[in-house]
Structure 1
Amino acid sequence: MVDAQYAPMEMRAVDAIPEGPAWQYEPKWDGFRALVHRDGDRVAITSKNGQPLARYFPEVVAALAALGADGFSLDGELVVPVAGAFSFDTLQQRIHPAASRVQMLARKTPALYLVFDLLREEGADRVGEPLERRREALERFMHANAEEHGTLRLSPATRDRAVVDRWFAEVGGALDGVIAKRLGVPYASGRRDAAVKIKKQRTADCVVGGFCYAAGSTDRVGSLMLGLYDDAGLLDYIGFCSSFSTAERRALLERLLPHAGGSGFTGGAPGDAPSRWSRDPERDRSYVALAPELVLEVGFDQVTGGRIRHGTRPLRWRTDKAPRSCTVDQLETAGAVLSLIR
C-alpha cells in the first residue's frame, strides 16, 4: 500500500474567510504539502504532484518509522522552523542531490511534519468519511502514536471564527493565511470543492531605491526596486514590484526619471543575498539608482530572510509619507508561529 498514491485535496483561492457552522478552520503553513504513507518498515513521503521526498527529509522518515502504528496515510505540511518562524528558503535547500548535505541540514535545521488529515489507518481507508470524523480519528491517532515524537505535530483546527483572529493576533505575518474546509464532506482527492484558502495580505510603505528597464527596452519600466531603512539608517533592498500594465510601465518613467542619479541602496543591495536572480551569471543585475524620495505602498504575502519572497503588488503612492519613516520593522512578525502547534 505504501506505493499507492492518494491525490491530495486541492484548495480554491478566495478573498475572504467564509463564516458559519459549515466550516472548519486551519492555519495555512508556509512549507511543502506532503502525503506520507507507512506499511510496516516501509515509509514514503510524496509531494503534491506525486514526487518522492523521503530522501530529503531523513529525520521525518525516522520519526514516522518510530510510531507505534505501522499502517497509515497522512496529509500535512513539511516545514523548517528558523528563529520562531518557518523558513521557506531553508526548506528549499533540502532538495539537494548530495545525501551528505541533506544529512547535515537535517541535523542543523531539522524539519517538522504538521499533520492535518488522516486518510488511512491500519489498512482502512478514511477518505470517504466526513471531515469531522476524520479529524476526531486524527486527534486520537496523534495522541496515541506521536506525542513523544516532536518531529510530528498535530496542526490545529477550530470551528470558531474568533479563534482565527486570535491566531493572527498571536503570530501576525508569520502565518501564511487560513484554510477553510467544509464539514460533513469526504476527503475530496484532486478536487477543489471541499476547501478554500485565504492568503493573508500584508502591506508596507517602501522607498523606491531604483528601477530596471523592461527587457530590451528603454521606454518602459520592468520592475521597481524597493527598500526599507535599517536600524543603522541604511536603505536595504527588500524586494521588487513588477505588476504593472504596459501603459503603466511607460507612465512610470515620467515619475521615476526626475529622481535618477541618486544614491540608491546604501545598505544591502540587489544581488547581495543568494537567490535565483543573483545566482544566474547571465542575468543583467544593473538597475537605475534613484534618490530615496518616492514611497510606494505595496501588498505582499511572505518574508524570508528579511526579503519579500515573491514580487509585491502596488497599492498606492504615498506622497504624504516621509521616506525615512519607512523602516524594516514593517516586516517583523508578531510572534513565534511555533506557539500555535505546541
Structure 2
Amino acid sequence: MDLPVMPPVKPMLAKSVPKIPPGMQYEAKWDGFRAIVHRDGDEVVIGSRTGKPLTRYFPELVTAVRDNLPPRCVIDGEIVVAYEDRLDFDRLSERIHPADSRVRLLAERTPASLVAFDILALGDDSLLFVRQSDRRAVLEEALSAASPPVHLAPATTDPALAQEWFDQYEGAGLDGVVAKPLDLPYRPDTRVMYKIKHERTADCVVAGYRLHKSGPVVGSLLLGLYDTAGVLQHVGVCAAFSMKRRAELLAELEPLRVEPADHPWAGWTDAAAHEGSRLPGAPSRWSGKKDLSWVAIGPERVCEVAYDHMEGDRFRHTAQFRRWRPDRTPDGCTYAQLEEVVRYDLAEVLSAGGR
C-alpha cells in the first residue's frame, strides 16, 4: 500500500456542547464503530478509532470498499449494523470475535454498512490540510456512484434542518448531531469538532458498587430499574466522580452492605442466570480479564442520573450522577418513566446522503 496518508490514522474527534452551534456543517452522529478506511487498489485496511485493524471482522465491507470507493483513497466513516430498521450496536459488537468462521457467519446474517462522512486522501493527494467544506465536496463527488452497503452521510449547513435531524433521527438509533467548522482542516486525534447528544434523566435504584482501580473508594454505582413483573433489572452504571467524592460515597454506602445471597442479583456469577434477567457482570468479549466483581448493597437508595439513550433495556453509555432522591422510593423506579422515542425509518436517513 502506497497512499499519501498511510495507516494507522486516529480520527478527528469531537467535544460535547449543549446546543447546536451556528455557522457550521452538520451531520448525524452515528452509533457504531468509527473507522478509517484505506484503499489502494485491491488492498484494503480498515482501522479503528485507536488505530487497531478491524479489517478481518468485516469481510463484506472489504468487498464493498473495492466495489464502491475510488481506487486510491482514505475515508473516515462509521461501521454500523441495521436490524429491524434501526441501528443495533449489540449486533455490531458481536462481530468482534476471534473465530473467523463466526465472523463470516455473522457477515451473512447481519451484514454491516459503511457510512462515509469525510475524506483524507484521494489519488496522490493528501486532503488533511484542505478545509472541511471543500473536503465535503470532494467526498460527494468521490461517492457519487456508491451504493449500499456504502453510504454517503447526510450533511447540511442549515441549523434548522440539523435540529430536525436531532429530534427525529434518534428513532432510527442515531446518537445526536455533529457540527464541523467549515474552514476546519482534518486534525487526527484532536477534539476540534462538536457533538450534541440527547440527554434525559431517570430515577434509578442504587443496588451495588464497584471499587475504583486506584484503591478502596467507589469506582461506579450499579443502577437498577424494576420491570413489569417487579424484577429489579441491572440497567448500567454511573461514574465520573472526583476522588474526594468516591471516598465519601464509600462511607455513605458501607452501612447498606448486604450478603450477596440476600440480594436480588445474587445469581450474577451463574452464566445461566443472565439469560432470564439483566445482572451485573455479564460475560463480554470487551471485558476480557477485567474484574467484574461488585459489592452488594440493599436496594434502598434512589439517585437521579442523566443518560443519552437506551440500547434495548439498558443505558447505552455510562450514566452521569445528578443527585440523590430521598423523596423517591425504590419501587417507583420502573421502566415506565423512560421516554419512548418515536421510531424513524433508518433507510430514509441513509438515503438522505445521496440527495
| TM bracket (short chain) | 0.7 to 0.9
* Deviation string, structure 1 residues 114-156 (Cα, Å, up to 9, x no partner): 100133334444444332222223223323x21xx32111111
* Deviation string, structure 1 residues 68-94 (Cα, Å, up to 9, x no partner): 742332211112223444333433332
Deviation at 1:183, TM superposition (A): 0.7
Match of residue 17 from structure 2: 15
Do the aligned residues in 2 keep the contact of 1:2 with 1:42 (CA within 8 Å)? no
Do the aligned residues in 2 keep the contact of 1:74 with 1:118 (CA within 8 Å)? yes
TM-score scaled to structure 2, two decimals? Answer: 0.78
Match of residue 320 from structure 1: 327
Q: Distance in 1 between matches of 2:10 and 2:215?
A: 43
Deviation at 1:16, TM superposition (A): 3.0
Match of residue 53 from structure 1: 54
Tell me: CA distance 1:92–1:213, structure 2 relative to 1, closer, same or farther (3 Å).
Answer: closer
Q: Which moved more, 1:257-266 or 1:244-253?
A: 257-266
Tell me: CA distance 1:189–1:207, structure 2 relative to 1, closer, same or farther (3 Å).
Answer: closer
Q: Distance in 2 between matches of 1:247 and 1:137?
A: 50
Tell me: CA distance 1:138–1:278, structure 2 relative to 1, closer, same or farther (3 Å).
Answer: closer
User: Could you say what secondary structure the match of 2:103 adopts?
Assistant: helix
Q: Distance in 2 between matches of 1:46 and 1:176?
A: 21
Q: Distance in 2 between matches of 1:13 and 1:198?
A: 9
Q: Percent identity?
A: 40
Match of residue 255 from structure 2: 257
Aligned partner letter, 2:230: G
Q: Which moved more, 1:11-20 or 1:232-241?
A: 11-20
Do the aligned residues in 1 keep the contact of 2:25 with 2:182 (CA within 8 Å)? yes
Tell me: CA distance 1:93–1:2, structure 2 relative to 1, closer, same or farther (3 Å).
Answer: farther
Aligned partner letter, 1:181: K
Deviation at 1:158, TM superposition (A): 1.5
Q: Distance in 1 between matches of 2:302 and 2:228?
A: 19
Match of residue 207 from structure 1: 205
Question: How many residues were matched structurally?
Answer: 334
Tell me: CA distance 1:217–1:264, structure 2 relative to 1, closer, same or farther (3 Å).
Answer: farther
Q: Distance in 2 between matches of 1:272 and 1:254?
A: 23
Do the aligned residues in 2 keep the contact of 1:225 with 1:239 (CA within 8 Å)? yes
Do the aligned residues in 2 keep the contact of 1:175 with 1:337 (CA within 8 Å)? no
Q: Which moved more, 1:55-64 or 1:306-315?
A: 306-315
Q: Distance in 1 between matches of 2:291 and 2:37?
A: 39
User: Could you say what secondary structure the match of 1:80 adopts?
Assistant: strand
User: Could you say what secondary structure the match of 2:52 adopts?
Assistant: coil
* Deviation string, structure 1 residues 17-63 (Cα, Å, up to 9, x no partner): 45222x11112222222122323333222223433322211111111
Match of residue 104 from structure 2: 103
* Deviation string, structure 1 residues 246-280 (Cα, Å, up to 9, x no partner): 55445444467369577535983534743369875
- Gapped runs of 5+ residues in structure 2? 267-275
Q: Distance in 2 between matches of 1:258 and 1:36?
A: 50
Aligned partner letter, 1:299: A
Tell me: CA distance 1:40–1:277, structure 2 relative to 1, closer, same or farther (3 Å).
Answer: closer
Do the aligned residues in 2 keep the contact of 1:9 with 1:192 (CA within 8 Å)? no
Q: Distance in 2 between matches of 1:32 and 1:248?
A: 33
Match of residue 187 from structure 1: 186
Tell me: CA distance 1:176–1:2, structure 2 relative to 1, closer, same or farther (3 Å).
Answer: farther
Tell me: CA distance 1:256–1:142, structure 2 relative to 1, closer, same or farther (3 Å).
Answer: same
Aligned partner letter, 2:22: G
Q: Distance in 2 between matches of 1:50 and 1:304?
A: 26
2:160 to 162, 170, 173: 162
Do the aligned residues in 2 keep the contact of 1:76 with 1:117 (CA within 8 Å)? yes
Q: Distance in 2 between matches of 1:217 and 1:69?
A: 52
Tell me: CA distance 1:259–1:294, structure 2 relative to 1, closer, same or farther (3 Å).
Answer: farther
Q: Distance in 2 between matches of 1:35 and 1:41?
A: 16
Q: Distance in 1 between matches of 2:214 and 2:189?
A: 41
Q: Distance in 1 between matches of 2:279 and 2:47?
A: 35
Tell me: CA distance 1:295–1:334, structure 2 relative to 1, closer, same or farther (3 Å).
Answer: farther
- Gapped runs of 5+ residues in structure 1? none
Deviation at 1:170, TM superposition (A): 1.2
Confirm or deny that 1:274 pairs with 2:283.
yes
